[in-house]
Amino acid sequence: MSVNQHTHVGPPYGQPQPGYQGYQQPAYGGQPLPGAPHTQYGAYNGPMPGYQQPVPPQGSVRPLPSSGAPPPASGTSLPSGHQGYSQFGQGDVQNGIPTSTAPMQRPPASQPFLPGSAPAPVSQPSTFQQYGPPPSSVQQLSNHMAGMTIGSTPVSAPPPAGLGYGPPTSVPPVSGSFTATGSGLYTPYTASQGPPPPSVPQVPGFAPPPSSTGIGPSSYPPSTGAPRPPPMPGPPLSGQTVAGPPMSQPNHVSSPPPPSTLSGPHPGPPMSGLHGPPPPTHPPQPGYQMQQNGSFGQVRGPQPNYGGAYPGTPNYGSQPGPPPKRLDPDSIPSPIQVIEDDRSNRGSEPFVTGVRGQVPPLVTTNFMVKDQGNASPRYIRCTSYNIPCTSDMAKQSQVPLAAVIKPLATLPPEETLPYLVDHGESGPVRCNRCKAYMCPFMQFIEGGRRFQCCFCSCVTEVPAHYFQHLDHTGKRVDFYDRPELSLGSYEFLATVDYCKNNKFPSPPAFIFMIDVSYNAVKSGLVRLICEELKSILDYLPREGNMEESAIRVGFVTYNKVLHFYNVKSSLAQPQMMVVSDVADMFVPLLDGFLVNVNESRTVITSLLDQIPEMFADTRETETVFGPVIQAGLEALKAAECAGKLFIFHTSLPIAEAPGKLKNRDDKKLINTDKEKTLFQPQTSFYNNLAKDCVAQGCCVDLFLFPNQYLDVATLGVVTYQTGGSIYKYAYFQLEADQDRFLNDLRRDVQKEVGFDAVMRVRTSTGIRATDFFGAFYMSNTTDVEMAGLDCDKTITVEFKHDDKLSEDSGALLQCALLYTSCAGQRRLRIHNLSLNCCTQLADLYRNCETDTLINYLAKYAYRGVLSSPVKAVRDSLINQCAQILACYRKNCASPSSAGQLILPECMKLLPVYLNCVLKSDVLQPGPEVTTDDRAYIRQLVTSMDVAETNVFFYPRLLPLTKVDVDSDSLPAAIRNSEERLSKGDIYLLENGLNIFLWVGVNVQQGLIQNLFGVSSFSQISNTLVSWMRHGCGKLVGTFSLSM
């Protein structure tokens, strides 16, 4: 009987049975998951709350304090007068110690004025100027924000607290503007500074700092032409206050900036050349309030009667100003603290998906998911779970609306795989108009005889075999017995109508194609591959309780010509057939090329033993590449099945054949308008070949072992467009790289994969999918086609408005994936997700997810380098980030100093993470980064999920000297900064692809001896080693991990 023709497995409608055996679950990876098979689909603990309003999970609600008292920032109290990064909830000692809060010292009159130390002398201006660009990217964002024209009309009240939202984070100003201390007073003189001046009553017109509710008329500078009052020099008198910039908004913690946050040269000393004590104090004129430059609006230029130094004026008799100070790293929000807080707050309770628009825990948090109507975040994550109701609101915020979809994601053992539903020959129930599949959000009416589509509102008749009565709540009585009615993710067994040519597909095939040129043989690669294939063929993907895999295998070797092998089980020895006419590729045999592993075990083993010996003395250095893919494609066409090609390649294909390439590597093009050509394929041959492969369901996985330029940008085109994977091992060395390569190969062969896949994303009225990012091919604007889709691949989808949305009905997404399983079954996997809609920008910002946002922005930028200069792409990212934060500051945050960067709680890591993207090898390569490396990373990131991009752009940094050998847990990570590295420690930096081992020069000698087998630091070598394999290596350096 055909594997596609199963008997109906659903229960009698409307009769839940306690002993019901449920839908059989598939198992992948070559063997059943432990404890996973034979799960049954039982009743849930109550009705699914289909369209309930979102309820914040426990531990996520942070109510705003009253305007009379500042709240604790990010859950951490800030002592008065102290500053540092504790306002971001970063209390971990390993992340640095807050800066000293010693009393401010009064500078001598001969020294330049230092903001925050004392008021200006009489000849010093009352305004500060900012000169020159700041040194860091975060400062660029901050100053970009400070210089933007932001409306001064304050919001009447801060946004209400909600899910995943707390008080915004306030970063100290970096524009040079002075920020008042927590109390609003200057530090009085201490005994060491001499006696304080006599106490005098407050001078009229010398007002306290303005409140955070608005800007009073007296806060503005005097009008042009009005007499300018002399500023107040020296320290304030006893009991006297000095006006500073506006206090930060009620939900911010105000603290003085550390000296390192002040950027740009400071104004010089007075022109008068005074070297003695400051002149006597002169009070300002009544009604004038001192204001710092940059507190409101734009920075002013030199004012009339300005006596201080400014560019272009000689500065005699004074000392040069201090060098520009960079932003204090401790004042930047800590990703480590945010990750730890989310783990402690949301890692203990299961994430239940029954609530619409609920923001999931971070990808760095280990949590369990209970599917109650919405897809698990392991399948779909969104940049925002509250979508603006109008397109104007979306354009105003500049927050991208996107979803990162991983249709075949691997689930933890404690979570249930999607149930397989078989509706027989009639197939799945669908909407008549938009063809959406039955899901929990469909509304049954007229006693269950019809249902109204939740996507297009069309009313469709319920098929007779699918009819069931409704209960008193309007739900079908078999609601909990049908996965498609009560779960967010499930599978349908497709009918013949969903198959090509109305014919059920055959099981797929794997073809291993090995480069046997001189470099491959001499490096030991050919022998290593053949030895590994002998054992790895026992772990081909299988489905459910199948005893053996249905996948057939074939073998090809090549250099300038191709060698096909007949491994039919009836043969005593394998037979080799050579095709030398690579210009017109064909398959010389049909019977015996693709075989069952168990049936031809003896012949396959004999072949793998003979291949290294046959080519041991080869001197052929040239290779072909295009004809190799053509040969695999023709073999799958002849067998009328889909499949995957595993190609092991070592050099640039310069032999005369279709797809021949030339060396075009030119580092002179970097940072020019022609740099984009380095990422583009140099010929259209491989684009056309990829199109043919997708049509047949031929996926290409590429393993590269280059010793020089290989043109990954061109060779990777077929892999990229067919949904395949690419692996790169530069300067392959058997001892150092074999473990990583073998782990990659085993994982690639065994992991769950679907073939001949087509994905479509449907949305409810008001939004539509407009753009797609990932490894796939599109022949139209709606269908994403992939020859193969494995459990590691993601597709990122961007949405745009085409109509207004309603807060009541929300927005819906349905991802439908049609694919052929490893056993040859045609299946439909469905994922559904419901989102909230909002009319207030505050609701949008409090329901964003930064990790997903960075995933989208990185993929958008990496695609942009194909058509735009890298500098333009970088500038576009910075501008978009600035616009996102400027919109929040203007519309959602209370007024504050113009020099402060106001960050939403959910986006407080956005500048840090975006800076990591800007510094990545694709957008800012170092001198040692090759063109192939950049093209390789660009293709990798395009298919990464949110968890992978998170660790790739912000790697894990672990102190190894703090490892507890008696515990299985890792040491606490520290922030990624050279300043955090101690010369007495050893650190491990891991980004999902590579590991870097950093050894301090002052590490204890005994530890060096135990780890590296040498007696001193100077004896440690920088040669590449396989440290992971041996537990402790004798060498140190950089080595790589499998994905």
**Domains delineated in the chain:** 349-501+756-848 (2.60.40.1670), 507-751 (3.40.50.410), 956-1040 (3.40.20.10)
272 backbone dihedrals φ, ψ, rounded to 5°: -70, -15
Q: How many CB atoms lie within 10 A of CB 324?
A: 18
Helix spans in 308-409 (H)? 335-346, 391-397
Contact 886, 146 (CB under 8 A): no
Question: How far apart (Å, rounded) are the C-alpha atoms in residues 112 and 624?
Answer: 69
**Structure confidence at residue 488 (pLDDT):** 97
Question: Please, which contacts does 1018-1025 make with residues 24 or more away whose CB atoms are closer than 8 Å?
Answer: 1024/733, 1024/736, 1025/736
The number of C-alpha atoms within 13 Å of 549 and in the hemisphere containing its C-beta is 27
Helix spans in 723-763 (H)? 734-750
Q: What residues are paired with 459 via a beta bridge?
A: 452
> What type of residue sits at position 755?
F
Token pair for 226: 């009005």
The residue assigned the tokens 């203990």 is 348
**Structure confidence at residue 213 (pLDDT):** 35
Beta strands in 856-973 (DSSP E): 901-903, 956-959
Question: How far apart (Å, rounded) are the C-alpha atoms in residues 489 and 849?
Answer: 22
The residue assigned the tokens 């113009």 is 898
Contact 383, 790 (CB under 8 A): no
- Give the H or E element holding residue 800: strand 795-801
Token pair for 847: 């329901």
Token pair for 632: 């695999």
**Structure confidence at residue 325 (pLDDT):** 62
**Distant-in-sequence, close-in-space partners of 798: CB < 8 Å, separation ≥ 6:** 400, 401, 402, 769, 770, 771, 772, 773, 856
Sheet holding 459-461, edge to edge: 443-445, 450-452, 459-461
Q: What CA–CA distances, in Å, run from 1034 to 993, 1028, 1030?
A: 22, 11, 9
Low-confidence ranges of the chain (pLDDT < 70): 1-326, 1022-1043
Q: How many CB atoms lie within 10 A of CB 967?
A: 8
User: 698 in helix, strand or coil?
Assistant: strand
Question: How far apart (Å, rounded) are the C-alpha atoms in residues 71 and 94?
Answer: 25
Largest CA distance in the chain: 110
Token pair for 379: 């399948």
Burial (CB < 10 A; 0-12, 13-18, 19+), residue 779, is exposed
Contact 883, 836 (CB under 8 A): no
C-alpha closest to that of 545 among 40, 33, 41: 33
Distance of CA 875 to the CA centre of its chain: 19
Helix spans in 112-213 (H)? 137-147
**Structure confidence at residue 465 (pLDDT):** 94
159 backbone dihedrals φ, ψ, rounded to 5°: -65, 150
C-alpha dihedral, 50 to 56 to 58 to 60, nearest 10°: 150
**Structure confidence at residue 1021 (pLDDT):** 72
**Structure confidence at residue 598 (pLDDT):** 93
> What type of residue sits at position 655?
A
> What type of residue sits at position 909?
L
Taking only the tens place, the pLDDT of each residue in 733-774 is 998 899 999 999 999 999 999 999 999 999 999 999 999 999
> Strand 489-493 relative to strand 420-421: parallel, antiparallel, unpaired?
parallel
Q: How many CB atoms lie within 10 A of CB 100?
A: 9
Contact 273, 200 (CB under 8 A): no
Question: How far apart (Å, rounded) are the C-alpha atoms in residues 605 and 58?
Answer: 58
**Distant-in-sequence, close-in-space partners of 969: CB < 8 Å, separation ≥ 6:** none
First CA to last CA distance, the chain: 39
